[in-house]
Amino acid sequence: MYNKRVVIAIGGNSLTPTDKTNWMESQFKNTRTSIDSIITLIEKGYSVVISHGNGPQVGVALRRVEETRDILPEIPLGILVAETEGSMGYMIEQSLQNELFDKGIKIPVTTILTQVLVDKDDEALLDPTKYIGSFYTEEEANELARTNGWKVKKDGDRGYRRVVGSPKPLAIINKPTLRKLVDSGIIVIAGGGGGIPVYLDENKHFNGLDAVIDKDRASALIGNVINADELYILTAVEKVCLNFGKPDQVEIDHMTADQADQYLNEGHFPYGSMGPKMKSAIEFLKGGGKRVIITAIDKLVEAVEGKNGTSITN
């Protein structure tokens, strides 16, 4: 019997290469470092599903397409989401397999290319807000927008980035397979980059859509689908804060779902930072989850033990 069934959502920036001269080797190195806390939970008997962001990676893939559009076939965003879900899933999967082997833990690991149902008429597709890719100066961003047909917005104090549509995830198409794998005790990597957005056409057939689903909202949905006890959202900060970055900043150790909703409505958690994470936490708890933890990736074990991070419960 497993201790707890959990979904762990790793931020894409945690897996992003820090050495730009050796993109893939650096990405593998960061992936191996990122799984240390996850291995500890597996050793404690947790049943684990892992999701991950892909904003920086899919942004690079898009830039590659745009730079070569005159000599190579153009690849749509939906396909690039699938490609990065596969490549990043492979890196996480292999890193886990090697570490588990070294520790003598015989648990299979697999990656699912996860299709996620969305509404093709979702209003979010008309007003793109999901940041992807690299940071640019205002001048660089405006030039890229003009030459490539992008929409760009300022992302905090870090600069300007491309934005694309981010529709609400409605259902996990791979639900039966995902449940069977998890119930069989397999570690599953699913919903990478929020999953591949698809919609139903007039013939009830699935079709791809050029958009990016928020990985935390997809992770919350996956958690409810597999009846997970807890959802762990890993980000760049150890705790959620009110008045973040201001002189009266306050760290929060625990809040209820109702308090989270109140703070969200009061504007404490902007869309470009903590907002989607808080919305995901609320959705997971309303869907039957018991606890959400938001913390930094290297503080996960401490947070699970109640010694760090922010816990959100009903």
Element (H, E) at 171: strand 171-172
203 is a catalytic site residue: no
Given the structure tokens 């033990």, which residue do they identify? 305
Strand partners, 110: 188
Please tell me whether residue 9 adopts helix, strand or coil conformation.
strand
12 is a catalytic site residue: yes
Element (H, E) at 116: strand 115-117
13 is a catalytic site residue: yes
The torsion angle over the Cα atoms of residues 82, 85, 87 and 90, rounded to 10 degrees, is: -130
Nearest alpha-carbon partner for 238 in 181, 314, 297: 297
Q: Which of 54, 194, 277, 289 is catalytic?
A: 277
Given the structure tokens 């890229």, which residue do they identify? 144
DSSP state of 32: H
Nearest alpha-carbon partner for 220 in 297, 163, 265, 278: 278
277 is a catalytic site residue: yes
Given the structure tokens 């935390």, which residue do they identify? 216
Q: Which of 30, 89, 191, 215 is catalytic?
A: 215
Alpha carbons 256 and 259: distance in angstroms, whole number: 5
Q: Which of 11, 12, 194, 223 is catalytic?
A: 12
Work out the angle at residue 280's Cα, subtended by the Cα atoms of residues 274 and 282, and round it to the nearest 5 degrees: 105
Residue 87: count of CB within 10 angstroms of its CB:
16
Q: Which of 54, 130, 223, 224 is catalytic?
A: 130
265 is a catalytic site residue: no
Q: Which residues are catalytic?
A: 12-13, 130, 215, 277
